[in-house]
Amino acid sequence: VQLQACGGGLVQAGGSLRLSCVASGTIARINDMGWYRQAPGSQRELVASTTSGASTKYADSVKGRFTISRDSAKNSVYLQMNSLKPEDTAVYYCAADVRSSWFGKSNYYWGQGTLVTVSS
């Protein structure tokens, strides 16, 4: 299973970006999908996640500004980021809990990361 993320870039404070991530490979079912970020010198943190039932969870720092969504038919997850702040600058990683067979256990996979830079 591979996760391919895209959509990062340079944006001014107050601007918007939309990240996309698609999972490919041998996939029977995707459970949770999410976005994490890691700023220089900081630990990786959860930004937002969504379950297969479309329940969502957000970090307090992004509530009201970021929206996570998924398209299960396309094995994809998205992160709409509005009102971006310089402190949102980080490498953003998508992740997914994937079951490759209906009778096997699931594994957690990570995308390669996409850089988001917010200038002040």
* pLDDT tens column, 24-82: 999 999 999 999 999 999 999 999 999 999 899 999 999 999 999 999 999 999 999 99
Tokens of 77: 């997850």
Q: Do residues 77 and 34 lie in contact, with contact meaning Cβ atoms separated by under 8 Å?
A: yes
Beta bridge partners of 5: 21
pLDDT score recorded for residue 104: 84
Please report which residue ranges of 1-120 form alpha helices under DSSP H.
none
Q: Any idea how long the chain is? A: 120
Distances (CA, A) of 73 to 54, 57, 76: 13, 21, 8
pLDDT score recorded for residue 54: 86
Q: Do residues 68 and 35 lie in contact, with contact meaning Cβ atoms separated by under 8 Å?
A: yes
Q: What DSSP state is assigned to residue 74? A: G
Tokens of 90: 């980080």
pLDDT score recorded for residue 89: 98
Among the listed residues 55, 53, 49, 47, the one whose alpha carbon sits nearest the alpha carbon of residue 8: 47
Q: Predicted confidence band at 92 (pLDDT cuts at 50, 70, 90)?
A: very high
| Mean pLDDT, rounded, for 5-9 | 96
